Every structure is written in C-alpha cells, then in structure tokens.
C-alpha cells in the first residue's frame, strides 16, 4: 500500500501527499474533541501499515501529571483496533511523545515518519533522526 525501504534494519515508509493531507484534516477535525474544552489542547493522527488513520486528542487532568498527550491517545486508539504497526504520525511532538513514538518503532521495526508541516511543504522525518541517542536499545516488555 505504501512504499518502503529498509534503512539501518528498519522499514521507512514514504507517505503520499493525499494521505498526508487526509491525516492533517483528521487531526485538525479532532481538535473539536480535545478534553475538557474543545479546541484547547492538541490533536494528532497516526497512520497504520494497513492504511487506517486514527486521531488522538489531548485529555487534560486538573492534576496536570495525569494529562494524556494526543500522541499517546492516538497510539492507544490504534492499539484498541489491534493496530500497532504505526508508519507515520503528524507532528511536531513533545519529547515525551517522541519517546513513545520511538518505542513503537523499536517494537514494530518501522522507523515511524513524523510529518512536519512547514510553510507549504510537509517534511517526512523518521523518528530515528529526531532521537539520535535513544534509550532503551531493546524493549523491556
Ligand atoms: Zn506530548
């Protein structure tokens, strides 16, 4: 469905423009469902190897500590549907979420593409490039 190359032992996908556009539309639409207030927070979309797109929204807690970032929610959203082979996610993402994305890539063997919408161009950056000294080397669980 999507073209991929093996680079440094991991699959790296190239995401076509139509899919990228769809992912940003879905992420932007999901902003209506940020919790507890609509359009106050963050939303992303993940793309799975099967070609499905799952949005995630930030889910804030009054404790702040318990707040869930939209990336974690989107990854869990895909997992609920039995999909853990994530090939791309809209960005930019905070460093906590980069860690989660990196761990997803560690488990799936897919170097997840982070899509950065910069002016009129969308950059496709593998998570490995955003995590030059990653930890851990292997999944614990
Ligand atoms: Zn985050």
Whole-number Å distance, alpha carbon 95 to ligand 1 midpoint, is: 6
Whole-number Å distance, alpha carbon 9 to ligand 1 midpoint, is: 27
On whether residue 23 sits in a domain, the answer given is: yes
On whether residue 72 sits in a domain, the answer given is: yes
On whether residue 140 sits in a domain, the answer given is: no
Q: What is the pLDDT of residue 39?
A: 98
On whether residue 71 sits in a domain, the answer given is: yes
CA-to-CA dists, residue 133 to 21, 56, 136, 137, angstroms: 31, 27, 9, 10
Q: Give the tens place of pLDDT for each residue, 12-56.
A: 999 999 999 999 999 999 999 999 999 999 999 999 999 999 999
pTM of the entire structure? Answer: 0.95
Whole-number Å distance, alpha carbon 68 to ligand 1 midpoint, is: 8
Q: How remote is the C-alpha of 27 from its chain's centroid?
A: 11
- 19, 122, 2, 13 alpha-carbon torsion, rounded to 10°: -150
Whole-number Å distance, alpha carbon 92 to ligand 1 midpoint, is: 9
Whole-number Å distance, alpha carbon 111 to ligand 1 midpoint, is: 18
Whole-number Å distance, alpha carbon 50 to ligand 1 midpoint, is: 24
On whether residue 50 sits in a domain, the answer given is: yes
Q: What is the pLDDT of residue 79?
A: 98
On whether residue 139 sits in a domain, the answer given is: no
Which residues sit opposite 121 in a β-bridge? 118
On whether residue 137 sits in a domain, the answer given is: no
Which CATH number covers residue 104?
Answer: 3.40.140.10
For the chain, the domain total comes to 1
Domain containing residue 21: 3-130
């Amino acid at each position: 469905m999507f073209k991929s190359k093996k680079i440094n032992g991991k699959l790296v996908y190239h995401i076509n423009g139509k899919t990228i556009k769809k992912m940003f539309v879905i992420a932007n639409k999901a902003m209506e469902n940020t919790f507890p207030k609509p359009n106050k927070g963050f939303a992303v979309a993940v793309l799975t190897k099967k070609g499905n797109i799952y949005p995630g929204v930030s889910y804030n807690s009054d404790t702040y500590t318990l707040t869930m970032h939209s990336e974690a929610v989107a990854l869990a959203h895909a997992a609920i549907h039995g999909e853990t082979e994530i090939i791309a996610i809209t960005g930019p993402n905070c460093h906590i979420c980069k860690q989660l994305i990196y761990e997803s890539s560690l488990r799936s063997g897919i170097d997840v593409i982070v899509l950065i919408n910069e002016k009129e161009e969308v950059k496709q950056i593998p998570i490995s490039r955003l995590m030059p000294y990653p930890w851990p080397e292997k999944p614990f669980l």
